Amino acid sequence: KIPADTLVVPLAVVDVAQKAAQNPDYMLSGDDLATWEKQHGRLPDNCCVAMNSGWARHVGDAAKYTGKDAAGVFHFPGVSPEAAQWLMKERTVLGLAVDTLSLDVGTSKDFKVHYSWLPSGRWGLENVAQLD
C-alpha cells in the first residue's frame, strides 16, 4: 500500500551514537532534531529521518545488540514518542529509520512510535546498516 515513489527520498541522518554509548536506553529527542536542523537547515520535505545510534557495530553480538537483561527486558536506543509526534506535526517526513531492532526504545511496553507513526501512512525501517 506504500507507493514506491515514496521510498526513494532525501535522507537526514541524526547521529546520537555518543549519547547511546552512554545510555543504551537513549531515545532520539526533539533536541537532537533541533541540533541537526541548526547544523544542516530545515529537514527536507518528504525525507526519511534516520537515527544513527552506533548500534550497528553490535550486530555480530546478539547479547549486546538486543541488550536483553536477566529480567528479559531489551535495552537499545529508539525514537522518542515526542520526537515522532513533532516530525508528524511540524515537518513533512515520510520515513523513520533506525540501526536498532525497533523504532521504539527497547524498554518500550506500549510501542507508541509504532502505533502513531505507521498508521499515519508513513513507513519505518529497522536494523539499517551503515548509517555512520
d(CA 80, CA 32): 11
In the predicted model, what is the mean pLDDT of residues 85-113? Answer: 97
The pLDDT score that the predictor gives to residue 95 is 97
In the predicted model, what is the mean pLDDT of residues 23-39? Answer: 98
Q: How confident is the model at residue 18 (pLDDT cuts 50, 70, 90)?
A: very high
Cell matching residue 61: 553480538
- Strand segments (E) across the chain: 11-15, 27-28, 47-52, 78-79, 93-98, 123-125
Q: At residue 71, does pLDDT exceed 90?
A: yes
Q: At residue 73, does pLDDT exceed 90?
A: yes
Q: At residue 3, does pLDDT exceed 90?
A: no
Cell matching residue 24: 543504551
Which tens digit of pLDDT belongs to each residue from 74-94? Answer: 999 999 999 999 999 999 999
d(CA 47, CA 91): 9
- Whole-model pTM over 0.75: yes
In the predicted model, what is the mean pLDDT of residues 7-29? Answer: 97
